[in-house]
C-alpha cells in the first residue's frame, strides 16, 4: 500500500507515513481476521442434513464476551493510534520554528499566487515578487508560509510533503515544511473551487543551495 504514496521529501512526512503504516497493519489484521472467520464459518456451518443450528443468543456475559472483548481490543488499538497521532499532528500543525524563508500563498480561481518578500525579508516592500504557480524553496530549510484565498476555498496540497491545508478567504493560516530532496513536485488544489478546479496545479521547486542562490540572483538582480 505504501508504495502508492508519492515520494516523501519532507521532514515530517516520515511521521505521517509511519502512522499510515501502523494503521495499515492494524486494519489488514482486522480485515483478514474478520473475513477469514466469515469464510470459515460459511464453510463449517453450511446447512447439512440432520444438523440443527446452535441456539445461542449471545446476551449472557459469558457469550457476549465473544463480541465485547474483541470490541474492547478495537478500542484500545484505536486509542493507541490516536496517541501516536497526537505527536505527528502537533509537529505539522503546531509550533513553527523561526526561519528566514517566508512566503505568502494565495489561492484564487484558478491558480496559486506566491509572494516572496525578496532579499529584505519583509512583505509590503518594493522588492516583493509575485510568481504564479511556482513555489521556490531551498532544500533542508524550514519554510514558513501564510496561506489565504482571494475568492473561494481552495486547498493547498503538497503530496510529496504530506501537507494539506484549506486556503480560506478572509483568513490567514500559518504553515511550515522542510523539504529534504531537490526536485519539482506538484501542488494540486484539493478543494472544489469552480470550473477551473481541475488543472489548478502549481509546482514546488526545491533547489540545492547553489541553485537557490542562482534563482535569487536571477530574480533580484540588483541586490
Partner 1 sequence: MTVSVQEVPGVGSEEPVHQEPTGFWRRYIFSVDHKMIGRQYLLLSAAMALVGGFLAYGLRWQLAFPDTWVPGLGFIGPETYNVLITMHGTTMVFFVAMPMLLGGFGNFLIPLMIGARDMAFPRLNMLSFWTIFTGSLVLLASYVVPGGAAAGGWTGYAPLSARPIYTGVNWGLNLWLLAHAIEFASFLMGGVNFLTTAMTMRAPGMTFFRLPLIVWQELTAAVVFLLSVGPLIAGAVMLLMDRIAGTSFFVPAGGGDPLLWQHLFWFFGHPEVYVVLLPAAGLACEVLPVFCRKPLFGYRWIVYSTFAAGILSFIVWAHHMFVSGMDPRLAMPFSITTILISVPFAIMVFAMIATLWGGSIRFATPMLFALGFLAMFICGGLTGIFNGSAPANIPLHGTYFIVAHFHYTLLSGVFFGGFAGLYFWFPKMFGRMLNERLGKVHFWLTLIAFNATFFPMHFLGLAGMVRRISNPLQYPSLEPLQAVNVFITLSAIGLILAQVPFAFNIVRSLRAGEPAPANPWEATTLEWSTASPPPHDNWGETAPAVYRWAYEYSSPDAGEDWLPQDRLLALKP
Q: Read off φ and ψ for residue 8, nearest 5 degrees.
A: -90, 120
CA-to-CA distance for 222 and 206, rounded, in angstroms? 23
Give the nearest distance from C-beta 88 to partner 1 in angstroms. Answer: 4
Q: Is 97 in the site for partner 1 (CB under 8 A)?
A: no
Of 14, 67, 125, 183, which lies in the binding site for partner 1, with binding defined by CB under 8 A? Answer: 67
Q: Does residue 213 belong to the site contacting partner 1 (CB under 8 A)? A: no
The sheet with strand 142-149 has its strands ordered as 129-132, 111-116, 101-108, 142-149, 173-178
Residue 60, helix vs strand vs coil: coil
**Single residue of 14, 25, 74, 119 touching partner 1 by CB under 8 A:** 74
Binding-site member from 14, 119, 196, 209 for partner 1 (CB under 8 A): 196
Q: Which is nearer to partner 1, 68 or 100 (CB)?
A: 68
| 136 vs 154 by CB, closer to partner 1 | 154
| Residue placing its CB nearer to partner 1 in the complex, 66 or 121 | 66
Rg of the chain (C-alpha set): 25
Binding-site residue total for partner 1 (CB under 8 A)?
A: 84
Position among 101, 112, 114, 163 found at the interface with partner 1 (CB under 8 A): 163
**Beta-carbon-side half-sphere exposure of residue 160 (alpha carbons within 13 Å):** 17
Does residue 68 interact with partner 1 by CB under 8 A? yes
106, 111, 165, 178: which one contacts partner 1 (CB under 8 A)? 165
Burial profile 61-74: b = 16 or more Cβ within 10 angstroms, e = fewer: eeeeeeeeeeeeee
The number of beta carbons lying within 10 Å of the beta carbon of residue 134 is 15
**In this structure, what C-alpha cell is assigned to residue 219?**
530574480
**Does 62 engage in binding with partner 1 (CB under 8 A)?**
no
- Cell numbers found for residue 140: 533542508
Q: Residue 155, interface with partner 1 (CB under 8 A)?
A: yes
Is residue 50 helix, strand or coil? Answer: coil
Nearer Cβ to partner 1 (110/220): 110
Identify the residue among 25, 37, 119, 133 touching partner 1 (CB under 8 A): 37
79 is a site residue for partner 1 (CB under 8 A): yes
154 within 8 A of 2, measured Cβ to Cβ:
no
Amino acid at each position: 500500500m505504501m508504495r502508492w504514496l508519492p515520494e516523501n521529501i519532507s521532514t515530517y512526512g516520515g511521521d505521517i507515513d509511519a502512522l499510515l503504516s501502523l494503521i495499515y497493519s492494524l486494519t489488514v489484521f482486522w480485515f483478514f481476521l474478520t473475513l477469514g472467520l466469515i469464510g470459515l464459518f460459511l464453510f463449517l456451518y453450511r446447512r447439512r442434513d440432520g444438523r440443527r443450528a446452535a441456539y445461542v443468543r449471545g446476551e449472557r456475559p459469558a457469550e457476549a464476551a465473544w463480541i465485547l472483548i474483541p470490541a474492547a481490543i478495537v478500542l484500545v488499538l484505536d486509542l493507541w493510534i490516536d496517541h501516536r497521532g497526537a505527536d505527528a499532528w502537533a509537529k505539522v500543525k503546531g509550533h513553527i520554528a523561526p526561519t528566514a524563508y517566508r512566503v505568502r500563498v494565495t489561492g484564487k480561481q484558478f491558480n496559486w499566487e506566491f509572494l516572496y518578500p525578496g532579499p529584505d525579508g519583509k512583505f509590503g516592500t518594493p522588492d516583493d515578487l509575485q510568481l504564479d504557480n511556482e513555489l521556490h524553496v531551498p532544500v533542508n530549510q524550514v519554510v514558513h508560509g501564510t496561506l489565504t484565498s482571494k475568492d473561494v476555498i481552495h486547498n493547498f496540497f503538497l503530496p510529496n510533503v504530506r501537507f494539506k491545508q484549506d486556503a480560506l478567504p478572509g483568513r490567514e493560516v500559518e504553515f511550515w515544511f522542510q523539504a529534504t530532496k531537490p526536485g519539482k513536485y506538484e501542488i494540486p488544489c484539493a478543494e472544489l473551487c469552480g470550473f477551473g478546479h481541475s488543472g489548478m496545479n502549481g509546482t514546488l521547486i526545491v533547489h540545492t543551495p547553489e541553485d537557490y542562490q542562482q534563482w535569487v540572483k536571477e530574480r533580484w538582480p540588483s541586490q
